[in-house]
Structure 1
Amino acid sequence: MTDGAMAPGLSGSASDPEMHVRTVESAQLVGGLAEFDQWYDECGKQNYTDVERVPLEDLAGWRTDPATGNIGHHSGKFFTVQGLDVRLPGAPVSAWTQPIINQPEVGILGILVKEFDGVLHCLMQAKVEPGNANGVQLSPTVQATRSNYTGVHKGKAVPYLEYFRDRDRPHRMIADVRQSEQGAWFHRKRNRNMIIEVFEPVEVLDGFCWLTVGQVHELLQVEDLINMDARTVLACLPFAGAQPTDATSGADEFRTALMRSCEGGPGSRHSMGDILAWITDARTQYDDVHATMIPLDQVRGWRRNQEAIWHETGAFFRVVGVNVRAGGREVGQWMQPMIEPLGVGLVAVLVKRIDGVLHVLMHARVEAGYLDVIELGPTVQCTPENYDHLTPAARPPFLDEVLAASPDQLRYDTVLSEEGGRFYHARNRYLVVETDRDVPVQQYPDYRWMTLSQLGELLRHSHYVNIQARSLIACLHSLWSKQAAFA
């Protein structure tokens, strides 16, 4: 960890192509985290949440609409819990209704980056959310909803927000794209994912620290440490097009294939034009999908009392209420509803070396809350126990293969938390599983092998790659470093 007050500035002469090289060079610098560990422990003492479960009917500042049953904030801001009616013709489960969070405003998730001694660093924040299972996690420099940064909560100002809103500042925009959130729990929710390089001195406030890309990647190996909002922004770092450096010489065959996957040269199974046509065809095929907002009191198969809302099978998730007392936050106390998923989910990609280039098996995935029907998701994305309540035909392809993977197939295996501001103790086991099997497109038309360079190209645009897949892209990038690699 580098002390920002001691680090020199940079004149800002690097061209965009050099950004790939600088990112990779920073990714090679891992370790040296003893100072970070001490800082992180201290942040955990100063930043905390005391979360008490309370009945939905007792949430101060929130009201249930007597006409619809919808749960909303008295200000009309933040979010509402409503109902969603989904029609998916031809699917194993072709229709259902469910509660869903409707949060139409676009928030900001942003990371400041800056060179110190010729090495790129990321400004990360120790942030606590009421839904975190373990307290403090590392988040982006800025992680704020529009309601928060416009002061609806009447709390403290969001630190460093001016760097992401003031275009007159002398900085370079590395990434700026709107991306979706969980399509199963949010209705068309989007956040602005941003990476900005600064050249001026930056005061390091309490609860913030500078880390190299490699140090952040090393921390991605730790359970529940790098939060979801940080992972989605980290996925936007420009690895695609990077060339291997001297620091990566002598890499094993897997890492060499990973590097080639990021390079963007020849060797991809499908061309970028073919990939885009496949996505467009899939979206056209599913244009008869209908997801309609309905009153919450009209959802079928769900039960509700003063305490909570839950599915009659006891599966999927619950809507619960919490009373939060917090330290180190813009606001010290509040109440809110949250989604509490039941069980630890599984988010996994199969990867394969094809002609010496690592490919990732991506799924054209339909989720009711997506803005454009389909986004590319991981090979497998589910909570396995939920399929005990569904027909065998609904069981995801490749799920059993992932669950049966041997230890020598696992290139990444860590439990990571999802968004702690709206979801209570939502955790997924993230896996990268190497395989040598073929996946014929005739048998699996909704799946394609893609390189990391191709995924990086899609990440420059909105609504192509879902948030779970973006997390796994960040995890795959973390394997660039020899110290972080499993093999």
Structure 2
Amino acid sequence: MLEKKFLNWLKSANDFSKPKVILIDIKKLKKWNFTERTINHESNRFFNFKYYKVLSKIGNISKLFYSPFIVQQEVGILGILIKRFKNEYKYLLQAKFEPGNINKIQISPTLQATKSNYNKVHKGKQTDFVDFFLNSINKRNYIFNKKLPEQGTRYINKYNHNIIIESKSNNIKVPKNFLWVTKKEIKELLKKNNLLNMDTLSVLSCIVKKEPNVVSHNKKIEINNKISVFDKLHNQKINLTNLTNLKGWKYHNKKIINLNKEYFSIIGIRTVTNSREIKSWDQPIIREYHNGIVGFIVKKLNNSLHYYMQIVKEPGYKKPLLTGTICVKNFGIKNYKNNFFINILKQKKKSKILFNKTLSEEGGRFFHKQNQNLIIEIKNQINIAEKKNFIWLSHNQMVDLIRKGTISIEARNLFLSFNVEKIL
């Protein structure tokens, strides 16, 4: 159960922030340009939307679709400061408002900032702790630092630095909206839907510890070969187009919509708050038509838990990634009647739900977007053959591949949520 200090802390952050988000015509966003080719900020910084035609080929099977994507070439920083208090680590987290957060305030990393933000392109206040992280990066003084991929069906080639830094200082000034949090408290926070920010989960996934005496079902060379074969079979061409030629999409009723109500719409919002670098700003933001679902099927192989992972080649990335057994960005159960993950979920006598929680996408680019996160353990007598684009991975292999940057953000966040007790 959440302690009273957390509830008071979150209430205090929300009361101070006084956030307000207003929907406005996407063509009337202040400091943004709306054209046939793009939606971009007048500074040519932050991010923009562009329109793409995507052709995917797997062997002789082709799929053509059209979609807007977020283009944000800057590599941002997602950083968590940790410090040892007596015999345990604590993690410095902040109660942060983002305009797309379904619950306004979420518990975010110590630093969650784009390069445009921490370079003050907005001409506002400096982001807390940014100099601390930049100095540590320059001095190579960190526990972990790696560029990891973001959502490859919504972004084009978007990475963020995921950084963990340990401080030995006793003179860190902690603002009111920050709090040192224990591992046990993070576990409690995960019991609440939409409370822990997805970027917090992503960073913490990088410091999940390995387990002793694990015998993996597949060897490293077998994993690499399977990914390589999938990569060679899966060809993908992605080309820029304009809004008029973006089949299935149009500007309508003050926003860009998908005519079949698939994927998402792009809406315009105006934000007012006391707790960010500037008091007010306009921006475009993605609004999904349906919630998503991210799930693992797990099973004990060689006496240790293994994850049945899917190999995908998302439009936003040139190289394949490993994601959940199921990872659907717009989830409608009616559309997935024949999906084996859903079928196993229904077979309660053959499976057991180990984790089931609703978690939000990042609220700076996604408006009220939620994913159901599920982990289902199947009984040992149930055999699932490894399909061409699926493979069993052990806990330790998951740890290695997260740190390597081969696991999707959805999968690494679910992995962390299930293994939070194993972080540093």
**TM-score, with structure 1 as normaliser:** 0.81
**Residues 396-428 of structure 1: CA deviation (Å, up to 9, x unaligned):** 542332365579711111101001001111100
Kindly indicate whether the alpha-carbon contact (under 8 Å) linking 2:214 and 2:304 is maintained by their aligned counterparts in 1: no
Change (3 A) 1:317 1:170: closer
The one-character-per-residue Cα deviations of 1:420-471 (angstroms, maximum 9, x if unpaired) are: 0011111001111111232212xx1211111121111112223x00000011
2:418 is the counterpart of 1:476: yes
Cα distance change of structure 1 residues 171 and 71 upon mapping to structure 2, 3 Å threshold: closer
Aligned residues: 418
Whether the aligned pair in 2 keeps the contact of 1:302 and 1:309 (CA below 8 Å) is yes
Letter in structure 2 aligned against 1:156: K
**4+ runs of 1 displaced by more than 3 Å?**
90-93, 167-172, 402-408
Which deviates more, 43-52 or 115-124? 43-52
* Aligned pair partner of 1:228 in 198, 208, 216: 198
Secondary structure of the residue aligned to 1:423 is coil
The 1-side partners of 2:316 and 2:40 are apart by 19
Evaluate the alpha carbon distance shift between residue 266 and residue 136 of structure 1 in structure 2; reply closer, same or farther with a 3 A threshold.
closer
Which of 49, 52, 65 in structure 1 is aligned with 2:22?
52
Shift of 1:303: 1.9
How has the CA–CA distance of structure 1 residues 346 and 403 changed in structure 2, closer, same or farther, with 3 Å as cutoff?
A: farther
Report Cα offsets for 1:59-90 as digits up to 9, x if no partner.
1110123xx34111111011111111111114
Which of the two has greater strand per residue?
2
> Within 1, Cα distance between the matches of 2:318 and 2:116?
21
Residue deviations 1:225-274, cap 9 Å, x none?
0011111001011412xxxxxxxxxxxxxxxxxxxxx33x3421111222
Counterpart of 1:445 in structure 2 is 388
Aligned partners of 1:460 and 1:36: how far apart in 2? 30
Q: Measure the CA separation in 2 of the matches of 1:99 and 1:314.
A: 14
Q: Contact 1:322–1:335 at 8 Å: present in 2 too? A: yes
Residue 123 of structure 2 corresponds to residue 154 of structure 1: yes
CA contact 1:84–1:97 (8 Å) conserved in 2: yes
2:56 matches 1:98:
no
**Which residue identity is paired with 2:71?**
N
Letter in 1 for 2:287: E
- Mapped to 1, the partners of 2:343 and 2:15 lie a distance apart of 41
Q: 1:107 to 1:403 in 2, by over 3 A?
A: farther
Distance change >3 Å, CA 210–CA 429, structure 1 → 2: same
Give 1:341's aligned residue: 288
- Between the aligned partners of 1:155 and 1:420, the Cα distance in structure 2 is 20
Q: Percent identity?
A: 29
CA distance in structure 1 between the partners assigned to 2:351 and 2:18 by the alignment: 38
Match of 1:271 in 2: 219
**1:293 CA drift (Å):** 2.8
Superposed CA offset, 1:165-216 (max 9, x none): 1138988411111011111111111101000111112111120000112211
Structure 1: 5+ residue stretches without partners = 1-30, 241-261, 482-487
Task: Quote the Cα distance in structure 2 between the aligned partners of 1:61 and 1:233.
Answer: 32
Q: Distance in 2 between matches of 1:331 and 1:232?
A: 26
Q: Which of 173, 177, 181 is residue 203 of structure 1 equivalent to?
A: 173
User: Which amino acid in structure 2 is aligned with residue 351 of structure 1?
Assistant: V
Residue pair 2:58, 2:233 contacting (<8 A) in 1 also = no
Aligned to 1:79: 47
Aligned to 1:142: 111
Q: 1:295 is matched with which residue?
A: 242
- What residue in structure 2 maps to residue 122 of structure 1? 91
Q: In structure 1, what is the equivalent of residue 146 of structure 2?
A: 177
User: 2:274 & 2:145 partners in 1: Cα distance?
Assistant: 31
Question: RMSD in angstroms over aligned alpha carbons?
Answer: 2.3
Correspondence 1:252-331 to 2 at 5 A? 262-263=211-212, 265-286=213-234, 288-305=235-252, 307-331=254-278
Is the alpha carbon distance of 1:51 and 1:305 closer, same or farther for their aligned partners in structure 2, counting shifts above 3 Å?
same
Structure 2: any 5+ residue segments left out of the alignment?
none
**1:49 to partner: Cα distance:** 2.2
Cα distance change of structure 1 residues 168 and 145 upon mapping to structure 2, 3 Å threshold: closer
Whole-Å Cα distance in 1 between the matches of residues 344 and 111 of structure 2?
38
Task: Identify if the C-alpha distance between structure 1 residues 474 and 238 changes in structure 2 by more than 3 Å, giving closer, same or farther.
Answer: closer
Q: Hey, what's the Cα distance between the residues in 2 that align with 1:474 and 1:414?
A: 13
Give the stretch that moved more between structures: 271-280 or 230-239.
271-280
Change (3 A) 1:42 1:457: same
Question: 1:386 Cα shift?
Answer: 8.4
Question: What do the CA deviations read for 1:9-41 (whole angstroms, capped 9, x no partner)?
Answer: xxxxxxxxxxxxxxxxxxxxxx77332222222
Q: Does 1:381 align with 2:327?
A: yes
Q: 1:234 to 1:480 in 2, by over 3 A?
A: closer
3-state SS of the aligned residue for 1:88?
strand
**3-state DSSP of counterpart to 2:273:** strand
Q: What letter matches 1:86 in structure 2?
A: V
Deviations for 1:282-313, whole angstroms, at most 9, x for unmatched residues? 22222x21122333332111121361111111
Say yes or no: does 1:113 pair with 2:82. Answer: yes
State how far apart, in whole Å, the 2-side matches of 1:362 and 1:239 are.
19
In the aligned structure 1, how far is the partner of 2:145 from the partner of 2:400?
A: 13
3-state secondary structure, aligned to 1:399: helix
Contact 1:316 1:386 (8 Å CA) reproduced? no
Deviation at 1:326, TM superposition (A): 1.4
Matched to 1:469, the amino acid is A
Higher mean alpha-carbon deviation, 375-384 vs 295-304, is at: 295-304
Q: Which amino acid aligns with 1:440?
A: A
Q: How does 1:227-246 map to 2 (within 5 A)?
A: 227-240=197-210
- CA–CA distance in structure 1, aligned partners of residues 6 and 147 of structure 2: 31
1:192 to 151, 161, 165: 161
Q: Distance in 2 between matches of 1:124 and 1:412?
A: 24
